[in-house]
Structure 1
Amino acid sequence: MAAIGILGAQGRMGQAIAAIAPTMGATLAGGVDLGGAVFGEHGDAATLAAQCDVLVDFSSPVALAGHLAAASATGVPIVIGTTGLQPEHHALIDEAAAAGLAVLQSANTSLGVNLLAHLVREATARLGPDWDIEIVEMHHRHKVDAPSGTALLLGEAAAAGRGSDGVTLNRFDRIGHGNDRPREEGTIGYASLRGGSVAGDHMVVLASDNERIELGHRAENRTIFARGAVKACLWMAGRAPGRYSMNDVLGL
């Protein structure tokens, strides 16, 4: 039975993980947030890391460096679900993994979303550039980053199917404000919608002449993300150093 330490324990995901972890065969070592301990006796990430089997981080990008340092200092594996990460954050994760830390990072810990990404990669690998790729996502009115980390994850999967890293294919500003222009063949377009209390809807549209494939996922509440995160934590406990993803948890 793995003991989980929660970083960002006051956030929506932190609270969801704390609620569901005991029902999945895990124990809670404690939880910390910006102001210190939320539950348990550990006042910061470093002391919490020393008392748990695996850390799970759903805090903020600015806290990532400190949390990686705490995990590295104790050798405890860490699952990172924080969204809004930039290239410099991924570089920090790569460095920590190369230096001997077991770290799993995913923009979305839903098992369904990660299976969807696998299907998207398989589909684009078999369809030619005459199939246009568009990604549409919708989230609640309070979500700040756009497109969502999950949309980018799906875009990376689509690009990987076509043998690209995705960066050169992504188009975020194709329409409006003087940017109107025809669609470029082979690119991946994104559209972001915000409103209401939507937990997360994602649709990958593959469109060719006279036919269209739509691969999608709808999140009804955050429990699915928390459940996936706990499953990742149980899988990561005691794992050898390296960088992992939800694909590894699913055996894909």
Structure 2
Amino acid sequence: MGKGTQALKNVAVAGAVQPPPAGTTQHQVAVAGASGRMGHMLIEAIRAADDCRLAGALDIASSPAIGNDAAAFLGHASGVPVSSDIAAGLAHAQVLIDFTRPEGTLAHLQVCRELGVKAVIGTTGFDEAQKRQIADCARDIAIVMAPNMSVGVNVTLKLLEMAAKALATGYDIEIIEAHHRHKVDAPSGTALKMGEVIAQAIGRDLKEVGVFAREGVTGERDPSTIGFSTIRGGDIVGDHTVLFAGTGERIEITHRSSSRATYAQGSLRAVRFLAGQDSGLFDMFDVLGLK
């Protein structure tokens, strides 16, 4: 056992999760990116939930929030400081909720694995190699990973699966998504998930049929393709529309988010689901019983 691993084990022992009072069940939850917009929404949702307690708060070392109470933005003292020390931030947690960047999430996940902390991952933009790292971690800890934690979005994905099977021939499929100016990846993870669900439903591979850019003389549209269009601007939380365009009619299935609160509430449902899982990689279809 290396020194780093032993140090993590020592932290785990020294900061073991404290059991809730007799007769109650509380999920001890840590939040990554605690001083960001999504981090604030998660902390507020945890505070409002009777069965959850904020047990840790992580952020990058350069964040001005480091050392401050994680709930200070609410005018509330949680007793949990924002920390850049991953092991210390997870020492009292049972589950980490992470909506950060791929590199940060993977660093957090390695420590989760060492400490036996489960994870809810809402981060997007992972490449295939990074996804394999996450799947490997899931051999030892339980993970819920989804590009969108919204309950409504995941119900929309189920509707798209049904629609795609019925509209597999004679309809061109286009996915249009819009997000705020600060989003760094495109298309959105949700849009890609929509494409994957549709492609699987009609027996295609999105890697082969996805079209992510059109410019100049593109030629006639290949009916087997699934097109993507991306919009970035303002403070749009997240809009997604899937267009099934046939001859004489078109069907549009749209989901619009007006608040990140939907992602926070879905994340807490994932936390509750993980309480019954020891290991494995799950998604929101598992959480919501949609499989």
Is TM-score (shorter-chain normalized) higher than 0.5? yes
Counterpart among 191, 198, 202 of residue 236 in structure 2: 198
Alignment match, 2:124: 83
Gaps of 5+ in 1: none
Residue 145 of structure 1 aligns with an amino acid whose one-letter code is D
Using the TM superposition, give the Cα deviation of residue 245 of structure 1 relative to its aligned residue in structure 2, in angstroms.
0.2
Contact 2:177 2:230 in 1 (8 A): yes
Alignment match, 1:125: 165
Using the TM superposition, give the Cα deviation of residue 7 of structure 1 relative to its aligned residue in structure 2, in angstroms.
1.2
1:93 aligns with 2:134: yes
Alignment match, 2:219: 181
- Deviation per residue, 1:181-200 (Å, 9 max, x gap): 22112111000111221111
Contact 2:56 2:90 in 1 (8 A): no
Task: Give the alignment's Cα RMSD to 1 decimal.
Answer: 1.6
Secondary structure of the residue aligned to 2:89 is helix
Secondary structure of the residue aligned to 1:90 is helix
Alignment match, 1:22: 47
Alignment match, 2:155: 115
Using the TM superposition, give the Cα deviation of residue 165 of structure 1 relative to its aligned residue in structure 2, in angstroms.
3.7
Alignment match, 1:102: 142
Counterpart among 156, 173, 188 of residue 148 in structure 1: 188
Structure 2 length-normalised TM: 0.81
Using the TM superposition, give the Cα deviation of residue 179 of structure 1 relative to its aligned residue in structure 2, in angstroms.
5.8
Compare CA radii of gyration and give the structure with the larger one. 2
Secondary structure of the residue aligned to 1:142 is coil
Secondary structure of the residue aligned to 1:157 is helix
Q: Percent identity?
A: 39
Greater relative contact order, per chain length (Cα 8 Å cut-off, separation 6+):
1
1:234 aligns with 2:289: no
Residue 19 of structure 1 aligns with an amino acid whose one-letter code is E
Structure 1 length-normalised TM: 0.93
Residue 130 of structure 2 aligns with an amino acid whose one-letter code is H
- Change in Cα spacing, 1:68 to 1:212, as seen in structure 2 (3 Å) is same
Using the TM superposition, give the Cα deviation of residue 126 of structure 1 relative to its aligned residue in structure 2, in angstroms.
2.3
Contact 1:100 1:241 in 2 (8 A): yes
Alignment of 1:218-229 (within 5 A): 218-229=256-267
Secondary structure of the residue aligned to 2:104 is helix
Using the TM superposition, give the Cα deviation of residue 43 of structure 1 relative to its aligned residue in structure 2, in angstroms.
4.6
How many residue pairs match? The answer is 249
- Deviation per residue, 1:91-139 (Å, 9 max, x gap): 1111111x32211111111100011011101111222232111000111
